[in-house]
Amino acid sequence: MPEYRIKHITRYTYPAPVIDSANQVMLFPITDLQQDVKKHDLIISHHPAVEIFTDYFGNKTGIFSVIRAHTELTIQSNIEIVTKETELPAYDTAPETQWENLAVIREQFPYLDFMLLENFDAYNEVTAVVNSMMNASVTPFAAAKEMSSFVYNNFEYKKGITSVETRVDEIWKLKAGVCQDFAHVLLVMLRLVGIPARYVSGYICPKNHELRGEGATHAWVEAYIPFYGWLGLDPTNDCIVSDRHVRLAIGRSFTDCTPVKGTYKGSSEHRLEVSVIINNSTLEDEQPATPVFSYQVNNPGIPSTDNSYRRFMEIQQQQ
């Protein structure tokens, strides 16, 4: 069972003092049978009180405010976590029984939320693709794996051409994007055939640098497999999620899982720097916290209600 140390630093700097900074953070790793959180520290400059609650989807969420004037805000999340290898679903139930089970539970809580389909012009084209993968002998597990592989094989991993607000029509037309886009398409495909699917935010941890998205925030999908439970699929890397992935939050889409978001009063001119450092416990020396992204907003004098982390995600796209 691998153990990882993760340091996630978000730093805002302002050329003039700002006030009334109100923020929400979803940086708390999930604790369950697959993840054993040994230690988690959330360190925020100016030492605000953090109110922690559990949201609708079961994610641990923190909110805090910095009322007094400040020219810098740093949010640092330090995680020590042990992950466990995923046990795959068994093939001991007939496919038709599994699909019959899905037909019932997908209209019930909590699965109903993860069947929501957006309107998009390519509906008939995407439906034809997913239907071509279906036959009487295909289990939901096999169908989900095939759809994940389809996204991996037919979409180019390309940065900077989409944003978190890019609709599935554009992604489908471009046949390209990053992990958030790959997850978006797979969510649609799974839901079209009646498999509840949810978006997951988190990290993918380094080993031999063979995976896309290492050393930054990452996104993938969990599909509900009858008589088994939720199974993670990473279409960006064409793999089943196992002990290399660390989960932070789940939801219907990216908007339910935004790691950091907030507003403040003051000039909108500011700089954002984000660093994500991930070390295996076998590494003796910690890597330096060099920003993996920096972003400068140059609009002085305009009161800001913008979510800077969202702007960051629009450019970095959960690499």
Express each pLDDT in 264-291 by its tens digit: 999 888 888 888 999 876 444 455 445 4
In this prediction, residue 24 carries a pLDDT of 96
Residues 105 and 33 in one domain: no
Question: The domain spanning residue 49 has which CATH number?
Answer: 2.60.40.2250
In this prediction, residue 216 carries a pLDDT of 67
> CA distances (Å), 102 to each of 116, 134, 231, in order?
15, 15, 15
Residues 109 and 240 in one domain: yes
Of the chain, the percentage scoring pLDDT greater than 70 comes to 86
Distance in angstroms (rounded) separating the CA atoms of residues 26 and 30: 10
In this prediction, residue 311 carries a pLDDT of 47
Distance in angstroms (rounded) separating the CA atoms of residues 53 and 138: 41
In this prediction, residue 68 carries a pLDDT of 96
In this prediction, residue 310 carries a pLDDT of 45
Q: Half-sphere exposure of 39 toward its Cβ, with a 13 Å CA cutoff?
A: 9
Domain-ending residue, one of 239, 256, 273: 256
What mean pLDDT is predicted for residues 287-307? 54
Sign of CA dihedral 223, 225, 230, 235: negative
Residues 277 and 161 in one domain: no
In this prediction, residue 184 carries a pLDDT of 95
On whether residue 90 sits in a domain, the answer given is no
In this prediction, residue 209 carries a pLDDT of 64
Q: With 70 as the cut, is the pLDDT of residue 252 above it?
A: yes
For 157, the domain range is: 95-256
On whether residue 46 sits in a domain, the answer given is yes
